[in-house]
Amino acid sequence: MSATVIDGKAFAATVRQKVGGHVARLKEEHGITPGLAVVLVGEDPASQVYVRSKGKMTLEVGMASYEHKLEIDTSEADLLALIAQLNADPKIHGILVQLPLPPHLDSDLVINAIDPAKDVDGFHISNVGLLGTGQKSMVPCTPLGCLMMLRDHHGSLSGMNAVVIGRSNIVGKPMANLLLGDSCTVTIAHSRTKDLPGVVRQADIVIAAVGRPEMVIGDWIKPGATVIDVGINRIDKPEGGTRLVGDAEYASCAAVAGAITPVPGGVGPMTIACLLANTITACCRANGLAEPEGLTV
């Protein structure tokens, strides 16, 4: 068997196009321009790349982008003051604080200072609780992107066995909650899971969110299963230089799976598309307008 490749890059482009259409309508019919504020503390190179591409894509869909770049030694009080200002600003519909923060700043405190209605990353404790209890919330972007691709590929996920490898607050746990919401039977695996290959072999859907290059191999995959590879790992090439690989070994998994997301070009592009989707959802909710269909759960 050779797996269908789930093209996250193409799918993300359709999501952004949909978002762009809604932005144009909001401007035309209501005179509202959705605004996304991104806060970056320090000069972590990977974070700078993410923030730059978030800003670029925000503008491309017609939204307003507000970037706040703060010095690495910014105090917690100053950061909280900025968040309070963004919370109160009616031009801003979404606020994202780029993680990781420098160690002297308490990430939980900072994230929980964001107005939950503007928390487009979906990390505020209120949104975590709402998602966990099946209520309307802001949904973390990466798991939302994975769910969108799964729904697009399968239609209904009801009754499927899903194994999520990884239990982080930003990927594994919200992903498991979303799959549960779509009536999957969900197993969350982690570093203490016994017989991980055996657990994964039961899965119709495998979500690999581990942070270990090419850990999941084809021998673990049930024939025909869908593999969603969240991992982004940079490894050395034997001939020099580096390349990006996922948490699943692509060739061996693709030989057995029914469908698979590549790395790069799978989950990654969907994450930013879902950030934009969340911003338009937040903007519609803030203005008492019907939220666009298919852009959130």
* Enzyme catalytic residues: 54, 98, 121
CB burial of 221-251 (b: ≥16 within 10 Å; e: otherwise) equals bbeebbbbbbbbbeeeeeeeeeeebbbbbbe
Q: Interface with ligand NDP includes 211 (CB under 6 A)?
A: yes
- Residue of 225, 268, 275, 295 interacting with ligand NDP (CB under 6 A): 268
Q: State the Cα–Cα distance between residues 277 and 138, nearest whole angstrom.
A: 10
**51 or 284: whose CB is closer to ligand NDP?**
51
Point out which span in 72-80, 94-102, 117-125, 265-273 binds ligand NDP (CB under 6 A).
265-273
Q: Cα torsion at 108, 112, 114, 118 (round to 10°)? A: 110
**175 or 295: whose CB is closer to ligand NDP?**
175
Q: 22 near 289, Cβ under 8 Å?
A: no
Q: Interface with ligand NDP includes 113 (CB under 6 A)?
A: no
Q: State the Cα–Cα distance between residues 280 and 230, nearest whole angstrom.
A: 24
Q: Interface with ligand NDP includes 191 (CB under 6 A)?
A: yes
Point out which span in 107-115, 125-133, 188-196, 281-289 binds ligand NDP (CB under 6 A).
188-196
CB burial of 27-36 (b: ≥16 within 10 Å; e: otherwise) equals eeeeebebbb
Q: Interface with ligand NDP includes 166 (CB under 6 A)?
A: yes
**212 or 285: whose CB is closer to ligand NDP?**
212
Would you tell me how many other CB atoms lie within 10 Å of the CB of residue 164? 30
Judge if the upstream peptide bond of residue 103 is cis by omega within 30 degrees of 0.
no
Would you tell me how many other CB atoms lie within 10 Å of the CB of residue 146? 30
Point out which span in 28-36, 93-101, 176-184, 225-233 binds ligand NDP (CB under 6 A).
225-233
Q: Interface with ligand NDP includes 165 (CB under 6 A)?
A: yes
- Residue of 226, 271, 279, 281 interacting with ligand NDP (CB under 6 A): 271
| Tokens matching residue 295 | 């852009």
Q: Interface with ligand NDP includes 232 (CB under 6 A)?
A: yes
Supply the minimum distance, in Å, between the C-beta of residue 220 and ligand NDP. Answer: 11
Q: 128 near 169, Cβ under 8 Å?
A: yes
Q: 258 near 79, Cβ under 8 Å?
A: no
**182 or 247: whose CB is closer to ligand NDP?**
247
- Residue of 27, 151, 154, 167 interacting with ligand NDP (CB under 6 A): 167
**210 or 225: whose CB is closer to ligand NDP?**
210
Q: Interface with ligand NDP includes 194 (CB under 6 A)?
A: no
